[in-house]
């Protein structure tokens, strides 16, 4: 059992949350009405996740994508109002960590992607405050073979554009919406760059740079950090932890 403020203080230190200028507040976003014994984790604080956490008897929900994003309407009306009423009436705390959970060297989304995809010599670069990582594939392989590996390991068939000939060895990646780092990945000497999304200009940059780009899904590339963090917190504080997958094809 742990109080919300103590859990947040621990996570802030562990993830070095103050290092990041983020798009939404990191830490405690909704205060609960009780100490935390049971923790539910998920990717996004959607209505489906909140409902599942209530059924699970959770005291707190920990997510990667929380609420109160910059430049969006802050009013708790409509969908937002329904989500807020549900979590407040249940007395559940909501914690969210965005960029700090992408970048963490052991528990972060990029670190865990390296494990899931069997990437060797994985390490963060100085790009994007440590959000872009580099490493080597477990063995040289064609673009089609690596795309098949991603499909099997992440459960999501990626969209592939750009280079398809020859063997891929050196990989760079950034989970979620990291496609804007493609040109910087090329400058690092990557044969393939993997992220979650595909923007209109991404295809042209990949083709003209002779690099393979894989868009493996924002949700699919950001499942693993919050699971790792939840498991760590459960072991460290003796909590009950359950990750709940709310499927999202995006």
Residues 135-167: tens digit of each pLDDT: 999 999 999 999 999 999 999 999 999 977 899
Instruction: Answer positive or negative: Cα dihedral of 181, 231, 19, 49.
Output: positive
Determine the Cα–Cα distance for residues 224 and 160; give it in Å rounded to an integer.
22
Residues 6+ apart with CB under 8 A from 109: 64, 101, 102, 175, 176, 221, 222, 224, 225
Within the chain, which residues score under 50 in pLDDT?
none
Rounded to 5°, the CA angle 136-140-144 comes to: 105
Which letter does DSSP use for residue 2 in this model? Answer: B
**Cα–Cα distance between 173 and 193 in angstroms, integer?**
5
Give this prediction's pTM: 0.95
3-state DSSP assignment of residue 170? strand
> Which of 241, 242, 239, 227 minimizes the C-alpha distance to 64?
227
Please report the pLDDT score of residue 223 as a whole number: 97
CA distance 140 to 134: 15
Residue 200 is predicted with a pLDDT of 95
User: What is the predicted pLDDT for the residue at 164?
Assistant: 78
pLDDT at residue 163 in the model: 79
Angle at 24 between CA 19 and CA 29, to 5 degrees: 100
Q: How far apart are CA 173 and CA 175, in angstroms?
A: 7
Tens-digit pLDDT profile for residues 34-43? 999 999 999 9
């Amino acid at each position: 059992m742990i109080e919300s403020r103590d859990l947040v203080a621990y996570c802030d230190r562990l993830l070095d949350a103050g290092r990041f200028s983020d798009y939404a507040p990191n830490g405690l976003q909704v205060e609960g009405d009780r100490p935390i014994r049971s923790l539910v984790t998920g990717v996004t604080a959607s209505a489906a996740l909140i409902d599942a956490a209530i059924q699970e008897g959770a005291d707190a929900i920990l997510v990667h994508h929380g609420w109160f994003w910059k430049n969006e309407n802050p009013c708790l009306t409509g969908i937002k109002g329904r989500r807020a009423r549900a979590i407040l009436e249940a007395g559940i705390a909501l914690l969210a960590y965005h960029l700090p959970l992408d970048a963490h060297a052991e528990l972060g989304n990029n670190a865990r992607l390296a494990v899931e995809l069997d990437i060797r010599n994985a390490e963060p670069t100085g790009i994007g405050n440590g959000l872009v990582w580099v490493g080597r594939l477990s063995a040289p392989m064609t673009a089609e073979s690596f795309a098949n590996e991603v499909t099997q390991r992440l459960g999501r068939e990626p969209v592939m554009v750009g280079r398809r000939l020859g063997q891929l060895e050196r990989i760079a990646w950034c989970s979620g919406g990291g496609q804007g780092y493609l040109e910087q990945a090329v400058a690092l000497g990557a044969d393939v760059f993997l992220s979650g999304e595909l923007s209109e200009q991404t295809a042209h940059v990949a083709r003209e740079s002779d690099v393979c780009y894989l868009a493996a899904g924002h949700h699919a590339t950001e499942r693993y950090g919050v699971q790792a963090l939840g498991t760590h917190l459960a072991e460290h504080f003796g909590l009950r932890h359950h990750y709940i997958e709310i499927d999202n094809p995006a």
